[in-house]
């Protein structure tokens, strides 16, 4: 690392050297959006994500997460899939996986450089400095802190948007007892645009800047452990893990860039996954294929449930034998989804 004029400049320079695409700083004070978050939790719109409720007190006071915390370093990691190669012979019945999940698990990829940067922060702070790093795992309101740090602004779809990167990026944070001068917040730049509200297949964006997670396809296909509500299943289409629709229509994506840290970890086999092949995976083959990807979070039963619904939405008779076998699955959530798909393909409701 070259010499830098201040600890903050040195941290930012080191972050860029390690491959992060942006690095900014805010204070450890609670974000101003905290009351809205608490109302969202109290209304039950977080669904079964009970960890959000359990950690609400820490989210309100970062000193409960790291005693003496004075600053938060927020990092952006782009994953725009520029330059992806189309496969010559796509499967007859392909599924759709959210873009961020078409890489190796970002938690594993980002942890080493993040720990290196946290070590640099402690070294710059001197004896007694403590820092705590998170990659989408800590009890903090990282989106809101990132907005206050100037990483981006919160769009009407409730996700963060970068002026120079659009929607395609991940966040990581370092809480530290080292006091650093904060960066200026990023003002909202959505204007009159409502493309994301119109694009949401399940109308989970109930109003500008308001999301009912219980209707969101990302929640339904990843976080929800039980059956997906039948009235929402047709809108899921062939999505089997996550949804990018509200992100993909954002006009700020014209400035998206390919991220350096994730570029070499793309999984080509997840570009156009074969639904019938996925439904046939046993425990061992599922583990070998997905253990190091975000899809591991859904577990085999969750993925099989999602695949059954996607096949039902395809209404292709070629899926009937596989679905008939899945209808005998010992996991009730899989068997029920397979029965639904069979009825859907055969003309039922």
The answer to whether residues 221 and 309 touch, using CB atoms and an 8 Å cutoff, is no
CA distance 240 to 220: 10
Q: Provide DSSP, 74-117.
A: EEEEE---TTPPPPSS--SSB-EE-GGGGBS-HHHHHHHHHHHH
89 a catalytic residue: no
Task: For residue 265, give the nearest of 173, 174, 170, 172 by alpha carbon.
Answer: 170
Backbone φ and ψ for 314, nearest 5 degrees, come out as: -70, -30
CA distance 7 to 1: 12
The answer to whether residues 205 and 92 touch, using CB atoms and an 8 Å cutoff, is no
> Which of 42, 53, 108, 136 is an active site residue?
136
Residues 106, 110, 34, 51, CA torsion sign: positive
The answer to whether residues 26 and 149 touch, using CB atoms and an 8 Å cutoff, is yes
The answer to whether residues 106 and 77 touch, using CB atoms and an 8 Å cutoff, is yes
Q: Is 3 exposed, middle or buried (0-12, 13-18, 19+ CB in 10 A)?
A: exposed
**Contacts by 319-322 with C-beta closer than 8 Å and gap 24+?**
319/93, 319/275, 319/276, 319/345, 320/345, 320/346, 322/276, 322/279, 322/280
Residues acting as catalytic residues = 136
């Amino acid at each position: 690392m070259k010499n830098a004029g201040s600890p903050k400049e040195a941290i930012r320079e080191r972050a860029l050297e390690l491959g992060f695409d942006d690095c900014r700083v805010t204070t450890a004070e609670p974000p101003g959006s905290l009351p809205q978050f608490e109302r969202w939790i109290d209304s039950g719109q977080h669904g079964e994500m009970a960890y959000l409720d359990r950690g609400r007190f820490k989210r309100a006071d970062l000193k409960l997460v790291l005693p003496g915390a004075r600053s938060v370093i927020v990092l952006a990691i782009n994953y725009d899939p520029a330059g992806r190669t189309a496969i010559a012979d796509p499967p007859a019945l392909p599924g759709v996986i959210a873009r961020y999940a078409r890489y190796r698990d970002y938690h594993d990829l980002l942890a080493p450089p993040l720990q290196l940067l946290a070590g640099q922060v402690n070294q710059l702070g001197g004896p007694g400095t403590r820092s705590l790093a998170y990659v989408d795992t800590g009890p903090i309101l990282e989106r809101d802190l990132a907005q206050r740090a100037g990483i981006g602004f919160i769009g009407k779809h409730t996700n963060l948007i970068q002026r120079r990167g659009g929607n395609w990026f991940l966040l990581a944070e370092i809480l530290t007892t080292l006091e650093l001068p904060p960066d200026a917040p990023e003002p909202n730049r959505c204007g009159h645009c409502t493309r994301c509200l119109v694009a949401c297949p399940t109308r989970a964006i109930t109003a500008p800047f308001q999301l009912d997670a219980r209707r969101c396809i990302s929640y339904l296909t990843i976080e929800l452990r039980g059956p997906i509500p039948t009235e929402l299943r047709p809108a899921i289409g062939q999505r089997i893990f996550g949804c990018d629709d509200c992100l993909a229509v954002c006009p700020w994506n014209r400035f998206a860039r390919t991220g350096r840290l994730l570029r070499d970890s793309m999984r080509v086999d997840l570009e156009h996954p074969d639904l019938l092949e996925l439904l046939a995976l046993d425990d061992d083959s599922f583990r070998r294929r997905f253990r190091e990807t975000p899809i591991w979070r859904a577990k085999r039963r969750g993925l099989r449930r999602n695949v059954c619904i996607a096949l039902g939405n395809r209404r292709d008779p070629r899926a009937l034998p596989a679905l008939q076998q899945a209808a005998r699955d010992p996991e009730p959530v899989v068997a029920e989804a397979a029965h639904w798909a069979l009825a859907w393909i055969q003309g039922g409701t």
